[in-house]
């Protein structure tokens, strides 16, 4: 199996990428979890963050929720890529981890949060989808109840050019939310 950093060098991402320093934060968060770990990633795009989470914790199963249509709140709206092309590239990018450790779920965050089994609590939720306030706060509120005690809820694009992300995070977790680089995170009590 290729290591995540090696695989990331080969990723086709249609020009959108997560900085390596943010992926390092995700690796640290993922590796801090023990046992048979369940991670839900909301917004997966091309799989770089899913690979980072998977590489850091070989016992983790990462459920990647995305509609692979891009969104209007960032530069993905300018891409001329069909959802089928984007999803296909995601599958190629995650390689031999596809359906073994990384499980794509095509649809919306709310759809999957609504049907997520109560007897399958989540060790970590990582949110990096639509960056509007409405969408981000909905993702946080939908998934927080599924995070087990002492589990982690985290997200991307904090303290950058997405005011909606910062506003939603501050509303739920206060302005003292923990963050490293552009990743915010909190541990559930």
26-41 per-position pLDDT tens digit: 999 999 999 999 999 9
Q: pLDDT, tens digit, for every residue of 134-184?
A: 999 999 999 999 999 999 999 998 887 788 999 999 999 977 889 999 999
pTM (two decimals): 0.90
The answer to whether residue 57 scores a pLDDT higher than 60 is: yes
* CA 62 to each of CA 2, 65, 102, 174: distance values in angstroms, whole numbers, following the listed order: 17, 10, 5, 28
What is the structure's pLDDT at 4?
Answer: 42
For the chain, give the mean pLDDT: 88
What percentage of the chain has pLDDT greater than the value 90?
A: 71
Assign residue 168 a region (left: φ > 0; alpha: ψ between -120 and 50; beta: otherwise).
alpha
Distance of alpha carbon 96 from alpha carbon 105, whole angstroms: 17
Cα 148 to Cα 161: distance, rounded to the nearest angstrom: 31
* Rounded Cα gap, residues 33 and 174, in angstroms: 24
């Amino acid at each position: 199996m290729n290591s995540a950093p090696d695989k990331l060098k080969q990723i086709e991402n249609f020009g959108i990428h997560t900085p390596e320093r943010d992926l390092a934060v995700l690796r640290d968060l993922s590796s801090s979890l023990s046992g048979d770990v369940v991670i839900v990633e909301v917004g997966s795009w091309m799989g770089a963050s899913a690979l980072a989470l998977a590489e850091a914790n070989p016992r983790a199963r990462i459920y990647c929720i995305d509609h692979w249509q891009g969104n209007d709140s960032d530069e993905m709206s300018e891409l001329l890529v069909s959802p089928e092309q984007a999803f296909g590239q995601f599958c190629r990018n995650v390689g031999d981890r596809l359906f073994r450790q990384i499980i794509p779920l095509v649809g919306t965050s709310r759809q999957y949060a609504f049907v997520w089994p109560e007897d399958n609590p989540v060790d970590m939720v990582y949110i990096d989808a639509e960056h509007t306030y409405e969408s981000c706060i909905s993702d946080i509120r939908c998934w927080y109840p599924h995070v087990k005690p002492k589990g982690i809820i985290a997200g991307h694009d904090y303290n950058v050019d997405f005011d909606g992300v910062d506003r939603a995070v501050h509303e739920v977790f206060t302005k003292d939310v923990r963050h490293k680089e552009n990743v915010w995170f909190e541990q559930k009590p």
